[in-house]
Amino acid sequence: MEKVISERQVFTPTVQGGVEFSHVQVLFQQGNQFFLGHRHQRRCSAIDQSDLYNVVTISPDCYQPTLPPHTTLLHYTERPIYIKRPNLSNYTSPSSISVPLLREIEVCEVLLNNPHPNVATYLGCKALGDRLDGICFELHPQNLMSMLNPGSLNKKELLESRHCSLEVAEKYILGIEAGIRHLHSLGYVHNDINPMNIMISGEGVPVIIDFDSCVKVDESVENLKRTYGWYDKDEKLARESNDLNALREIRAWLTGTSADEFQYPI
């Protein structure tokens, strides 16, 4: 094992409705190849490849797929940009990374011709030959979660220590709603609206990001990446209510006074 890229603890649901530790997922690199394996030990001072099981090789086809025809390419810009590259820790199957990347590019190409101040500004893709290197967006300083919840408190805990005026909260809510309704007007549902996917610009404008779970209205959402605690796990289709209910959850997160106002698990 040449280099460990990341480790992540994985939990599974219990019959009682909670979660329990399952294993540690280890992403590592040898030469130009990336691998993902599992480890039983929750913590250890050093990692040896012999400690891992279910080790799989992540093919470059997974994280550098061939770009669709007519994809907008970004060759140069003087403006600050964010280059979104895949998180290889999300690998579960050969298509688990490439399909969301290509889905996001499809949505972004539509947004390029239909911009909105509360939706991320897509600038094009970086390419390595005919393959994707990264998806480029206008850069913003921080997301809503890191700005208001730097201590990573759960929803209930944050209610007791939140510092956000009602005036500012209402400004954010109105901006997020405007961005959501713009996506809906284009026939898309975001499906992963949560404070981590709301950037705040230098001017204090909320901007919706992350379109790899964004699909057309009434398409299935069963295989999409979504954020625990911010969606209805029983909803199987991309409905506009998915985003509007998530906005309602953000409103409770920003302005609520009781945990009873939350719809989803705390």
Residues 111-124 have pLDDT tens digits of 999 999 999 999 99
| Mean pLDDT for the chain overall | 93
Average pLDDT for 123-149 = 96
Range from 53-57, 124-128, 162-166, 191-195 carrying the lowest mean pLDDT: 162-166
pLDDT band with cut points at 50, 70 and 90 for residue 90: confident
90 CB-near residues (< 8 Å, 6+ apart): 96, 97, 225
Class of domain 142-261 (CATH, top level)? mainly alpha
Range from 43-57, 66-80, 156-170, 211-225 carrying the lowest mean pLDDT: 43-57
Q: Is the pLDDT of residue 76 over 90?
A: no
Q: Is the pLDDT of residue 109 over 90?
A: yes
Q: Extract the tokens encoding 240.
A: 């506009």
Average pLDDT for 122-129 = 96
Q: Is the pLDDT of residue 265 over 90?
A: no
pLDDT, position 1? 60
Residue with tokens 């909670």: 18
pTM, rounded to two decimals: 0.91
pLDDT, position 159? 87
pLDDT band with cut points at 50, 70 and 90 for residue 16: confident
Average pLDDT for 221-235 = 94
Q: Extract the tokens encoding 39.
A: 């480890």
Q: Is the pLDDT of residue 178 over 90?
A: yes
pLDDT, position 254? 95
| Distance set, CA 116 to CA 25, 182, 248, 260 (Å) | 38, 7, 21, 34
Q: Extract the tokens encoding 117.
A: 């101040």
Average pLDDT for 184-211 = 98
Average pLDDT for 8-35 = 90
